[in-house]
Structures are given as structure tokens and as C-alpha cells.
Structure 1
Amino acid sequence: MIKEIIKEEKIRLDIYLTKLLEDYSRSEIKELFKADNVLVNNKAVKPSYLTKLNDKLLIKELTFEKEIIAKNLRLPIVYEDEAIIIINKPKGLLTHPATNKKEDSVVNHLLYHTTKLANIVNLKKAGIVHRLDKDTSGLLIVAKTDDAYHSISKQFKKRTITKNYYTIVHGNFEAESGTIIAPIKRDPISKVKMIASEDGKEALTDFNVIKQNSNYAYLNIDLITGRTHQIRVHFNYIKHPLIGDGVYGIKDDFSNDSFFLHAHSLTFTHPITKKEVTFKAPLPQQFQELLKELFHD
């Protein structure tokens, strides 16, 4: 359940929700309205409702009706205790089950792995605090208790979690490091894309060049904010799209394999011990082989 006091006027509520609920697709937001799960001042409203200052918004999460089958996908567990699980998600696997596709997801494995998951009433989330794109590999935090879920969610909102990624992009850089500052919003034309736009949400990305040649650069990235598709949007915005990214970049020799983006490390405060913890995931073999091919290591 999400509660919020609306601070913007005369905006269609469905458009307002696309900004507020970044993890929801437009079709899922549409389903929220159909189920009367979007209330303003305790009354169900339509998507066309125009917001008013200080409206009280209440969003009830959808009950995911499609059966989710527990399945052993043999996912690498980096760490586990009574509060959290850290998973190393492989490239090509969905984080959450899709509403219109019969594909396996991390949730399928979690339901096989344990019955102790936060927010288990909503099987689609199954304790997962954040998400990675299907073709992004690397670390995911899963909460096993509601307290752990709320603790880590707050850290994401306060930007106290350090999120480090590796990727390979087109072109090379004059400077060895940089910061990309470009707000991001959903593309009004394409339902599956985000764009850099002045009227979007604040988005910051720091990067360092690990190595480069005349055609490609291998980067270490610190994600300061966590907007949908942020790294892909930002590097396309500065004319250095991720190799193989046919959505935001250019069709190239790597398109069949999609882009290469790996969530390498996470540092955050453990919800029980209150101590800072860091977890790391090695580069996938395919990523390592591509580095050797491009940089002749």
C-alpha cells in the first residue's frame, strides 16, 4: 500500500503514477485503475482524474492472479541470513514475472528457495527490494522480513546505498572520469523507453574509464540515483551508447547478444546489525570474453 500527499496540480493521475511508480508498466497502472485500487481522498477515481494540491492518494497493490510456479533455477546465492538474501542474477532472466509472457524470473526461484519472504502476499515482488533489467546481470537484494524490506527501501530512497556497475560503451573519452546530470522521464511516444528531459526526475551517474581504445570504453559506474534504464539512457544521451543496446543505442555486431551491463557491487547498512556490508559479484564469463576480444587482454 502506498500513501502520498499530491504536490502537483492539474496532471492526469495516470501520468502522475507513471512517474511515481517507476517499477510499474503502463499496463499494470491501467490494471490498478480497473481494480479500483487507486483512491483519492478515499474514493476510487479514473485515470483521467486531474490532481489537486494536497489530494490524499492511496494505492493498493495488485494481487497477482497468474500462478507463479516455484522452480529451482540454480541461481547463485552470494549471501543469506535471517533478514536478507543477495542473489547474483544472470543476464537474460527477468527480475519479476511478466504479466503477458510465460518466462521464468528470479521470483520463481525465490519461491522454491524459501517460504520466508517479505511482502509474500504480493507474489510478484516476493521480497525483492529493487530490480534489474532482464539483460542486466549482477546483484539483487531480497528481504526475508517486512522490517528488512522497509529498512532497505528507505536506504534506496535516501540514496545511502552504493551501487556499482561495469559496462562497455561505444567511443572513447578525453577525461578519465565524469558525471552525467540529466533528468529522466518516460518517453511519451514509446511505452518501453525512457528519455532524458528537463521535466523528468533528477538523475545522476558517475563514471570512471577502466580502459579504452579508439572504438570502445570499459567503464566503472556509480549509480547515484536509480531511475528506470538510467545507465542506458544517460550514456546514449552523451553519445556513448552501450554496445549491443538496440533500444537506446545503435544496431551493431553485438545486438544479438544485447547490451553488457553488470551490477558488480552493493554497499548498504544491514537491517539487523546496522553495520555497513558490501557484496560483490564477478563478471560473467561472456562479459570477460568480450573484454578480451575488444581490448586484446
Structure 2
Amino acid sequence: MTGDFRSLPVPEGLVGMRVDAAVAKLFGVSRTIAAELAADGEVLVDGNEVTKSERLADGQQIEVTLPEPKGPPMPKEELVPGLDIIYSDRDVIALNKPVGVAAHPTVGWEGPTVVGGLAAAGVRVSTSGPPERKGIVQRLDVGTSGIMVVAASELGYSVLKKAFKDRTVQKTYHALVQGLPDPIEGTVDAPIGRHPSSGWKFAVTSDGKPAVTHYKVLEAFREASLIEVHLETGRTHQIRVHMSALGHPCCGDPMYGSDPNLAKKLGLNRQWLHATRLGFEHPRTGVWMEVESPYPADLQHALDVMRG
């Protein structure tokens, strides 16, 4: 194996410990990886290969060849249908992110990304930021569609990154939620953290991060309401969590309590949530600009069914 070779005397505190447990403790790898290294002959004690279950003795020398550290996954360059550029100049790219597309690669995500889609289309983005997410100054959930900005220059990256951090960007979303929120215009100020029993989702929790959502009803139907939402903060799943906490989950969002029968009636297989508009100061000119994204076909269809 090519990798990081380490050799050291067995520390006093690890005398009598199994090889896999000791390697895990010494070198910060998992027990599984430590066991695999021993099985592959990458762990030597006093120059001899050992099994994972052998015990270490005082005065021995342990030698390990650690695997090369794996970096984050790099974007696959592939054209992404529906990834349309709405506006671009030398500093800013505003695009329409389709549902089912991540902003950038992450561990465990094998699908298309905005970074990979732009690269495949030959669009130059800023070289700032980690290599797997160059130019990315904001994120939209994989299951949320809509307007997103990417930095095209180093100036664009630094100014836009700061604008999102300082919350000077105006983020407007539309959501179709079940029932009729009361009051029809209001603010939800409730901290959001990991769900106590389901780590893959979020909830309003007392020890969560501050989260503020402003909403107003645009159209009310018999079973649902179309609302406009302005976010002050940008927590993961914020709108979905806050509206669910009010008892008005997004239509088509079973993770946060939506009615599957209504979703079926509307032809939805994802939450009805769309980033419709972004307002920000242009990084170079300082001029206020707003970019918008129209509803995609599936959300428009659901709305048409509601309007009957």
C-alpha cells in the first residue's frame, strides 16, 4: 500500500490491548479500518505481521502503513437538464436549479450537481472555495428547486459569501402548505436542530440554532394555501420544519407530516417548495439586483389542480 508509514513503541497505556483497538486509538481510524489493515498485512509488531485480535506487549514496536486520506468527492462533469442560466456576467451567475440536483458533491450523494453541470456546460466559475464546491456561495436542498447564485469571479465569491453570511441577501420562496395558516401573515421564530429520534431530519428544539421565517398567504384554497416566505436565517429544511411546526406542512412532504392522499391528488412526488427570487447588491457595481425563477412543471401542475 502507498500511504503514511508510522512506527512507534507500544505506549504503556495500550499494553494488553487488541491490535485493532490499539491501532484505532493510536492513529484515529475506525476499528473496521484497523482490522482491515491488519488483515492486509499493513500492521507489523516487531517486524512480524499480526492478526487483529493479538494482544500487544510492553516493549514491542508497532508499525502501520495508513491509507491515503480520502478527500471529499469531486464533481462529476455531466450536463444537467433544466439547469438553466437566467443571468450571468463576469462576477455572478444566476441559475435555475432543478429538483434532484445538489449544489455540490457531498459524501453519499451520487447524483448530479450544480458544480458538475456548470463545468460540463463550459461555464467558468470562481476558483475560490474548496475544490469540490468552487464558486458556491449558497445551497438549496436537493429536493428544492429554484433560483440560486454562483460566483463567477474571486470578487464575486468574497462579496456574495459575505452578503449571505451577513443576511443582506433577500431570499424569497413560495410554498404550497396544507390548510390555512392563522394568522395569514406572521413570523416563526423558533430554533432548529437535529430531530431527537431521527438524525436524518430536523425539528424545532430548545438547543437548536436560531431560525426566523416570515410568511404571508398569497392564495387560499379549500385544502391548502400558497404562501410567500422570506428567510432571515438559512437553516437546513427551515421552511419545511417551521411550517410543519405550525401544523401546515408543505404539500408532498411526508418527512414533515404531509397528507399522502393530497400529494397523490396533486401529482406531487416531492415537497411543493420553490426558491422564486433572490435580491442582492451586485458585487462589483453595488447596484441592487433581483433574479427570479418560474415554477417548474410539476409545481405548476399541482397549483393548477388546486385552482381547479
Counterpart of 1:76? 84
Select the residue among 138, 150, 153 that pairs with 1:142: 150
CA contact (8 A) 1:135 1:260 kept: no
Distance 1:130 1:67 in 2: 18
Runs of 4+ in 1 over 6 A off after TM superposition: none
CA contact (8 A) 2:187 2:213 kept: yes
CA contact (8 A) 1:96 1:105 kept: yes
Select the residue among 277, 301, 308 that pairs with 1:265: 277
Q: What SS does structure 1 have at the residue aligned with 2:256?
A: coil
Change in 2 beyond 3 A, CA 1:67/1:158: closer
Partner amino acid, structure 1, of 2:290: T
Note the C-alpha offset of 1:274.
1.0
CA contact (8 A) 1:64 1:124 kept: no
Instruction: Encode CA deviations 1:99-152: one digit per residue, 9 max, x unaligned.
Output: 224211112112123463224673321211111111111011101223211211
Change in 2 beyond 3 A, CA 1:242/1:177: same
Paired-residue identity, %: 33
Counterpart of 1:125? 133
Where in structure 2 are the equivalents of 1:176-187 lying within 5 Å?
176-187=184-195
Select the residue among 291, 301, 304 that pairs with 1:279: 291
Note the C-alpha offset of 1:243.
0.9
Q: Does 1:200 align with 2:208?
A: yes
Q: What SS does structure 2 have at the residue aligned with 1:124?
A: helix
Counterpart of 1:294? 306
CA contact (8 A) 1:68 1:123 kept: no
Distance 1:116 1:281 in 2: 21
Whose radius of gyration is greater, 1 or 2? 2
Counterpart of 2:96? 88
Distance 1:121 1:205 in 2: 28
CA contact (8 A) 1:64 1:122 kept: no
Counterpart of 2:51? none
Partner amino acid, structure 1, of 2:258: I
- The count of residues paired between Structure 1 and Structure 2 equals 237
Note the C-alpha offset of 1:180.
0.8
Note the C-alpha offset of 1:229.
0.7
Counterpart of 1:159? 167
Counterpart of 1:116? 124
Q: What SS does structure 1 have at the residue aligned with 2:277?
A: strand
How big is the alpha-carbon RMSD for the aligned residues of Structure 1 and Structure 2? 2.1
Q: Does 1:244 align with 2:252?
A: yes
CA contact (8 A) 1:128 1:140 kept: no
Distance 2:174 2:134 in 1: 27
Distance 1:67 1:231 in 2: 29
Distance 1:89 1:115 in 2: 15
CA contact (8 A) 2:75 2:104 kept: no
After alignment, is 229-238 or 199-208 more displaced?
199-208
Note the C-alpha offset of 1:63.
7.6
CA contact (8 A) 1:85 1:144 kept: yes
CA contact (8 A) 2:73 2:132 kept: no
Instruction: Encode CA deviations 1:152-180: one digit per residue, 9 max, x unaligned.
Output: 11111211110000110111134331111
CA contact (8 A) 1:210 1:220 kept: yes
Unaligned runs of 5+ in 2: 1-27, 30-68
Note the C-alpha offset of 1:250.
3.1
Distance 2:77 2:221 in 1: 45
After alignment, is 101-110 or 111-120 more displaced?
111-120
Question: Given the two structures, how large is their TM-score scaled by the length of structure 2?
Answer: 0.71
Partner amino acid, structure 2, of 1:261: L
